Amino acid sequence: MVCTKSGTLANAPRRTAFCIILIHEKSEAKEVASEQHRRNFLACETIVGICDKSLLTVSEAERVARIDHERNLLHCITGFGECDHSLLSPSEVTEVAEFEGQRNLLSCQTGQGLCNRQSLSFTEARELSDVEHQRNILACKTGNGYCDGSLLSSSEAKEVADAKHQRNLLACETGYGFCDRSPRVRITELFI
């Protein structure tokens, strides 16, 4: 028995319900296939989920290729995510190299992240030495961070000793922090 276009079974007028169910199932199957295609396309666009690029139309594949390229370029520029330099155009390689250099210099200057000193120019390396020296002095004066006293000049060491002394006086006066009441701290200074 076969369903006719009118929705009835040929040679069986009482079986129209069966025919309607078959038509409804075919309609649902198309909707499910369409939804699966849309979900696959979305997975390819967003890289969330499993993407089968062989199921994309030509225009969808072109769009996904553009998105993949832009995503790779963004990863290369920001330093977040995986970057494939071989997929970049010559102008993008130049742009990315500039951003990578800036990111490296910032990492070196702040002490945060990986610093590749070999990629710094002579001027940048000299400026970095000055920044690191100032960061060391600040750490020594404030008592926060790593302080290498051997890198201080005699005048800087005196400034650091004065700052440490003032921090100690403040701690003794306020009761906050560590107060060293050893003989090196003059009693009169505690009550000024």
Domain-wise residue ranges, the chain: 1-51
What is the pLDDT confidence band of residue 179, given thresholds at 50, 70 and 90? confident
Distance CA 16, CA 181 (A): 101
pLDDT in tens, 17-63: 555 555 667 778 888 889 999 999 999 999 888 999 999 999 999 99
For the whole model, what pTM was predicted?
0.61
pLDDT in tens, 125-135: 999 999 999 99
Instruction: Count Cβ atoms below 10 Å from residue 53 Cβ, excluding itself.
Output: 14
What tokens does 152 get? Answer: 């201080």
pLDDT at 10 over 60: no
Which pLDDT score, from 0 to 100, does residue 1 have?
44
Q: Percent of the chain, pLDDT > 90?
A: 64
